[in-house]
Amino acid sequence: MSSREDCFAGVIYVGILSERERGIMNLLKTGKSVREISKHFGVSITSISRSISNIRTKALDLEDDIEFLMDIGFLRIRKDKFEFITRDKDPKALKLKQK
């Protein structure tokens, strides 16, 4: 996994997933099946499948947002960490019109 993917994964895991979604991700990482996870949480397989779909959607939305911020110069990845670029660090980084 690249440092960029590591950063995305960290942000997704900590920042936008619910406690239940984080639990599902942890169980998936250990190799549990959807059926086993549904039994663990005491919910239907459909509920777990829906949660996994929501996790994917959140990840894709976040990736798009981060790529946009990188494209316009507000954000970069340095030493496996996100770094927000501000006007005082790099005046050329902000290319948006000021009002």
Residue 12 lies in a domain: yes
Q: What is the pLDDT of residues 33-80, one digit of tens each?
A: 999 999 999 999 999 999 999 988 888 888 888 888 888 877 778 777
Residue 98 lies in a domain: no
Residue 69 lies in a domain: yes
The two three-digit tokens of residue 49, written as one number: 């499948």
Residue 90 parent element (H or E): none
Residue 35 lies in a domain: yes
The structure's pTM equals: 0.61
Q: Domain of 27: which CATH number? A: 1.10.10
DSSP H helices in 1-99: 3-11, 19-29, 34-41, 45-71
Cα separation, 99 vs 39, whole angstroms = 55
Cα separation, 39 vs 35, whole angstroms = 6
What is the per-residue pLDDT for 1?
46
What is the per-residue pLDDT for 10?
52
Task: Residue 93: count other Cβ atoms within 10 Å of its Cβ.
Answer: 15
> Looking at the predicted structure, is the pLDDT value of residue 9 above 80?
no
Residue 99 lies in a domain: no
The two three-digit tokens of residue 66, written as one number: 């981060």
Domain that holds residue 55: 3-93
Domain count, the chain: 1
